[in-house]
Every structure is written in C-alpha cells, then in structure tokens.
Amino acid sequence: MKINMDSIQPNRPIPPTKNTKADASAPSAQSVAKFNEAFSAPQIGGAFPTINERQQADDVLINNPNTQEAYWVSNGAAPDAARAAALGASISPPNILDDKIEATEKFINNYQDMRDANTIGADKYFHCKANCEAAQVSDIGSSVAKTISDTREWVDQNIKGDPETASQQDQQANYYGREQGSDNLSKLCTDICQPFRPNGLDSKY
C-alpha cells in the first residue's frame, strides 16, 4: 500500500472539541453585568422617606429600594451600605432595627399590663403610655408607635365594629403619648399619661 506523504502534516494541532453545555460554575454575562451595574451605580439619595436623623456633617443618605427607606449612614460605612442597597439587600443602618424591636416591645408590655390590670377605663392610659415609651426610644420608635396605633384602630373600627368616637378618643391618647414622650425624654411616661389614668388603677402601673 502506497502512502501519500504529502497528506501527512507533522505537529498538526488537534481541533478543539465543541462543548454545547455551558459551564455551570461560570456566571452568565447577564448576571455579571447586573452585578457590575449595581456596584458602579449605588443607590444614594432621598427617593424614599428618611427614617433616621443625620449625625455628622459628612454622613451619606442611602436610598434602599428593597425596604423603600432612606437612611443616613456614616461616611465610612456608605460604600458598603450603598452597594447593599443597590443589590436590593434588606438591611437597616445600625440601631434602627434595635429601635424598632424595642418600641414594639413597649407595646407588647403595655398590652399585657392592661390585660393584667383589668381596670375599667384604663385602655387609654395604656395607649398613651405605650406610645410615650416607644417615642422616648427614638424617632424610629415614634414612627413604629404611630404605625401600630393606626393599624390597631383600623382593625377595631373595620373588623371589630367599634364606633368611630371610641377610635378618636384612643387616637387622642396615642398622639398625646407620642408628642409628650418625644418632647420629654427624661420624664416618666406614668407621669406624662396621668391625665388618662383612671381611678382604681393599681399604683404599680
């Protein structure tokens, strides 16, 4: 058998094998683009309600589209906070989550005290005191107090069928507690809410 030597090409490279399956470990071009876009365009600004106060002149206002909140953070923490917000991370600046939890606990404790006291006419006193104590936590606490109070009154009227006049009286106590608590941070809420205290309520409350 005669071999055609011209057809033999020494060191001829082997053509690459075409792989139709994508490498599962490699990120897609779309995900990479989204990641880069988020990090190159952090959400800074005030498109949403601001939930805390500026502490330093160089603080940065972060706009979080996931929580639909804007909040001030220190200049040093701004890059990480802005990137997290741009990626839709559900985070809150330091102390805000703690304040929300503490304010909610004030309501839970006062509700339990109201149930334990079981005194006629004491509900408005405890309404006032819960709002007052939550407002003394911080501005965040006051905001939480308003949300809880408004929600409860809506339920009382629309679900339980309480009269509108009863809700208005409760809201007066709620508002009084929040306003006086915010303006008198060092004053006891038991003293602030004295106008709503009924006769016969145990002195421990």
The per-residue pLDDT for range 64-78, each reduced to its tens digit, is 776 777 888 777 777
The whole-angstrom separation of Cα 55 and Cα 172 is 32
**Which pLDDT score, from 0 to 100, does residue 18 have?**
45
**Which pLDDT score, from 0 to 100, does residue 10 have?**
45
| Averaged pLDDT, 77-106 | 73
SS3 16: coil
The secondary element (H helix, E strand) that includes residue 194 is none
Using the structure block, give the residue that is written with the tokens 């206002």: 61
Nearest to 150, CA basis, from 163, 131, 135: 131
The fold adopted by the segment(s) 96-196 is: Topoisomerase I; Chain A, domain 4 (1.10.132)
Burial of 21 (0-12, 13-18, 19+ CB in 10 A): exposed
- Confidence at 93, pLDDT banded by 50, 70, 90: low
Span 11-40, pLDDT tens digits: 444 444 444 444 444 555 555 455 444 444
Of residues 169 and 83, more confidently modeled:
169
Return the number of other C-beta atoms located less than 10 Å from residue 156's C-beta.
16
Q: What is the pTM of this model?
A: 0.56
Q: Give the residue extent of every domain in the chain.
A: 30-86, 96-196
Give the per-residue SS3 of 51-98.
Answer: CCCCCCCCCEEEEECCCCEEEEECCCCHHHHHHHHHCCCCCCCCCHHH
Q: Are 87 and 70 in contact (CB under 8 A)?
A: no
Long-range contacts of 18-23 (CB under 8 A, 24+ apart): none
Span 108-133, pLDDT tens digits: 999 999 999 999 999 999 999 999 99
